[in-house]
Amino acid sequence: MTISAVAENKKINLDDLEVQIAKISRRNIQIEICFEIDIMIAGALTKREKILLFNSARKCDVGELLSGKFEFDYRLAAKEAKS
């Protein structure tokens, strides 16, 4: 939702946006939770626009609301073309 709101505010046209989140539990001495977040942004966007949208997701308030031992692994991913 943050990416869409920033795109609308900055007048950036998104053809397609997809976010996939995987929750990974790791066991070391204690249990840790890692969220792997792949963000696929489609459209004729400049590198600056993609970075702006990607950074808006990384700074989303939801991450601040979670408590405990969490890790977020953000990656800008390429989306396969539809046939």
**Model confidence, pTM:** 0.59
Does residue 82 sit within a domain?
Answer: no
- The confidence score (pLDDT) of residue 35 equals 79
**pLDDT of res. 48:** 92
Residue 13 lies in a domain: yes
**pLDDT by 10s per residue, the chain, length 83:** 688 888 888 888 888 888 888 777 766 666 677 778 888 888 788 999 999 999 888 888 776 666 566 677 888 888 776 66
Note the pLDDT of residue 83: 64
Q: Is residue 72 part of a domain?
A: yes
Q: Which residues contact 41 (CB under 8 A, 6 or more apart)?
A: 3, 14, 16, 17, 50, 53, 54, 76, 79
* Total number of domains constituting the chain: 1
Residue 73 domain boundaries: 2-77
Residue 69 sits in a domain whose CATH number is 3.30.300.20
Read off the DSSP letter of residue 6.
H
**26 within domain boundaries:** yes
